[in-house]
């Protein structure tokens, strides 16, 4: 058999036989976007995650009407009112992110409702502790009241001299420590005296705390009433949050007072008034609309006024 001469294959001919190759795959949608615009979109997504997701996780209003002082807040024989004040500070300052003094670059820097809630709660607790301290002149209570007067919006970096200092959280937790120490001393004194922990008459300290709560509640109701009359004067959702913070602190402190003054309340025949005030504050603390409207402001203000009227009747000695 004769051998055929070797022929080199023509690449062009092979391509013609095989047919055209697959078309070039176009770039993705993001690849067609100009680089500067891609950077802008990435930054917007990052801001959405930072303020939207992380901020939502860190913020949030927590209202638990079943809150009770822990043993470190309320030793046996101590004041339930002081223990409740310490517990409220723990829940809002230590257990959760404290947001009123967060700068704009924090995840909660754009939040408005949670800071309003926490600020109102801290101020209500501070006013109550201040009333307790003025009546008893206890060094521990005076120190606690001084610490709780700190502006909740105070950050460690300030536009004043000195430009650095302790943030509001540090002062508030210091006030909580003084409350705990005061309650421990009170428990020891009562144990040594072998005396009943509760008086047979409404104490001056209880009356002072009630008066402070009444003032805080009336101020919050008045603030909401101004917003109802002039909606341009603020945000309804922020005002609802403020009212909830005031009501939440007031109703838990009122629960503490009811335990401390149980005997006096039974003898006075004012238990109904105490229940009315507590129920009204509970309603105000639980108002949480998705979109706050005028009707929500009216309901919140009405609940606060009912509570205020009941407290005023208690202080006036009415049944």
Instruction: Convert the pLDDT of each residue in 259-273 to its tens digit.
Output: 999 988 888 888 999
pLDDT, position 257: 96
pLDDT, position 82: 96
Comparing CA positions, the residue from 217, 307, 246 lying closest to residue 117 is 246
pLDDT, position 318: 46
Lowest mean per-residue pLDDT among 21-30, 233-242, 262-271, 277-286? 21-30
pLDDT, position 261: 92
Q: Do 313 and 273 touch, CB atoms closer than 8 A?
A: yes
Pick the more confident residue, 105 or 77.
77
pLDDT, position 220: 97
How long, in residues, is the chain? 319
- DSSP-derived secondary structure letter, 71: T
Render pLDDT for 15-46 as a digit per residue (tens, 0 to 9).
455 555 555 455 566 677 787 787 877 788 87
Q: Is the pLDDT of residue 6 over 60?
A: no
Distance CA 221, CA 206 (A): 22
pLDDT, position 192: 77
CB within 8 A of 199, min separation 6: which ones? 261, 263, 264
Please provide residue 72's backbone torsions phi and psi, each rounded to the nearest 5 degrees. -65, -25
Q: Do 318 and 284 touch, CB atoms closer than 8 A?
A: no
Residue ranges in 137-288 assigned as alpha helix (H)? 139-148, 168-193, 204-229, 236-260, 262-268, 271-286
Q: Is the pLDDT of residue 299 over 90?
A: yes
Crossing angle of the two packed helices 236-260 and 113-136, in degrees rounded to 10: 30
Distance CA 165, CA 167 (A): 6
The share of the chain scoring above pLDDT 90, in percent, equals 57
109 φ/ψ sector (left φ>0, alpha ψ -120 to 50, else beta): alpha
Render pLDDT for 151-208 as a digit per residue (tens, 0 to 9).
999 887 776 777 777 899 999 999 999 999 999 999 998 887 765 544 546 788 999 9
Q: Do 128 and 215 touch, CB atoms closer than 8 A?
A: no
Distance CA 254, CA 282 (A): 11
pLDDT, position 1: 47
Instruction: Judge if pTM exceeds 0.85.
Output: no
pLDDT, position 22: 54
Q: Is the pLDDT of residue 223 over 60?
A: yes
Torsion angle, alpha carbons of 171, 177, 180, 184, to 10: -140
Question: Helix, strand or coil for residue 74?
Answer: coil
Average pLDDT, the chain: 86
Segment 200-219 shows an average pLDDT of 90
Q: Is the pLDDT of residue 305 over 90?
A: yes
Looking up tokens 């705390």 gives 209
Burial of 302 (0-12, 13-18, 19+ CB in 10 A): middle
């Amino acid at each position: 058999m004769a051998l055929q001469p070797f022929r080199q294959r023509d690449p062009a001919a092979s391509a013609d036989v095989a047919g055209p190759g697959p078309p070039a795959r176009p770039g993705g949608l993001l690849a067609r976007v100009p680089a500067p615009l891609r950077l802008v979109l990435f930054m917007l997504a990052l801001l959405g995650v930072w303020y939207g997701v992380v901020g939502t996780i860190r913020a949030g209003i927590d209202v638990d009407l079943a809150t009770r002082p822990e043993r470190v807040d309320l030793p046996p024989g101590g004041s339930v009112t002081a223990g409740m004040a310490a517990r409220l500070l723990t829940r809002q300052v230590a257990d959760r992110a404290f947001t009123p003094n967060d700068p704009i670059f924090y995840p909660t820097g754009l939040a408005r409702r949670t800071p309003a809630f926490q600020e109102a709660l801290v101020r209500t607790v501070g006013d109550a502790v201040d009333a307790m301290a003025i009546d008893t002149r206890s060094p521990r209570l005076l120190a606690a009241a001084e610490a709780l007067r700190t502006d909740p919006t105070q950050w460690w970096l300030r536009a004043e001299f000195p430009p650095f200092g302790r943030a509001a959280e540090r002062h508030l937790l210091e006030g909580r420590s003084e409350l705990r120490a005061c309650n421990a001393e009170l428990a020891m004194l009562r144990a040594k005296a072998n005396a009943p922990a509760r008086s047979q008459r409404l104490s001056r300290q209880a009356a002072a705390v009630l008066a402070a709560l009444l003032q805080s509640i009336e101020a919050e109701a008045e603030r909401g009433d101004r917003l109802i009359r002039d909606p341009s004067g603020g945000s309804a959702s922020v005002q609802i949050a403020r009212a909830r913070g005031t009501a939440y602190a007031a109703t838990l402190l009122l629960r503490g007072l009811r335990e401390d003054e149980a005997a006096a309340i039974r003898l006075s025949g004012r238990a109904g008034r105490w229940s009315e005030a507590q129920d009204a504050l509970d309603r105000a603390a639980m108002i949480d609309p998705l979109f706050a409207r005028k009707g929500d402001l009216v309901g919140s203000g009405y609940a606060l006024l009912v509570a205020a009227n009941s407290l005023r009747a208690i202080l006036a000695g009415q049944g």
